[in-house]
Amino acid sequence: MSLSSKFDCVQMTDVGKVRDHNEDAIGTNMDTGLLVLADGMGGYNAGEVASGIAVKTVLELVTEACNREERDGVEPETGLMRQSIVLRDAIMRANKIIHQTAKSQPQCEGMGTTIVACLFFDNRVSIAHVGDSRLYRLRRNRLEQITMDHSLLQELVDRGFYSPEEAARSTNRNYVTRALGVEPRVDVELNEVEVEVGDVFLLCSDGLCDMVDDEDIHLTISTFSANLDVAGQQLIKLSNDHGGKDNISIILAQVREPFPSRRGFWARLSSVFHIGKRHG
The pLDDT tens digits for 131-143 are: 999 999 999 999 9
Give the mean pLDDT of 32-51. Answer: 90
CA distances from 80 to 84, 85, 183, 202, 260 (A): 7, 9, 29, 21, 11
Q: What is the pLDDT of residue 176?
A: 84
Q: What is the pLDDT of residue 70?
A: 74
CA distances from 14 to 139, 153, 238, 247 (A): 26, 25, 12, 6
More confident residue, 154 or 270: 154
Q: What is the pLDDT of residue 57?
A: 98
74 has a pLDDT exceeding 90: no
The pLDDT tens digits for 196-225 are: 999 999 999 999 999 999 999 999 999 999
Kindly state the percentage of the chain with pLDDT values over 70: 81
CA-CA distance, 250 to 9, in Å (whole number)? 11
Reduced to 3 states (helix: H, G, I; strand: E, B; else coil), residue 122 is coil
Give the mean pLDDT of 76-94. Answer: 83
Give the mean pLDDT of 141-170. Answer: 70
Q: H helices of the chain, where?
A: 46-72, 76-104, 152-158, 164-169, 206-209, 214-223, 228-241, 265-273
Q: What is the pLDDT of residue 173?
A: 59
Largest CA distance in the chain: 71
More confident residue, 187 or 267: 187
CA-CA distance, 91 to 98, in Å (whole number)? 10
CATH number of the domain bearing residue 76: 3.60.40.10
269 has a pLDDT exceeding 70: no
149 has a pLDDT exceeding 90: yes
Q: What is the pLDDT of residue 152?
A: 59
22 has a pLDDT exceeding 90: yes
Q: What is the pLDDT of residue 277?
A: 43
Residue 60 located in a structural domain:
yes
Residue closest to 206 by CA, chosen among 136, 133, 148: 133
Residue 125 located in a structural domain:
yes
Give the mean pLDDT of 104-116. Answer: 94
For the chain, what is the domain count? 1
Residue 278 located in a structural domain:
no
Residue 280 located in a structural domain:
no
The partner residues of 24 in beta bridges, in order of sequence, read 39
Residue 279 located in a structural domain:
no
Residue 40 located in a structural domain:
yes
Give the mean pLDDT of 214-241. Answer: 97
Residue 211 located in a structural domain:
yes
Average pLDDT, the chain: 87
Give the mean pLDDT of 1-21. Answer: 94
Convert 245-278 to b/e letters by CB count within 10 Å (16 or more is b).
bbbbbbbbbbbeeebebebbeebeebeeeeeeee
107 has a pLDDT exceeding 60: yes
* pLDDT band at residue 266 using 50, 70 and 90 as cut-offs: very low
94 has a pLDDT exceeding 90: yes
Containing domain of residue 237, as a range? 4-273
Note if the pTM is more than 0.75: yes
Kindly state the percentage of the chain with pLDDT values over 90: 72
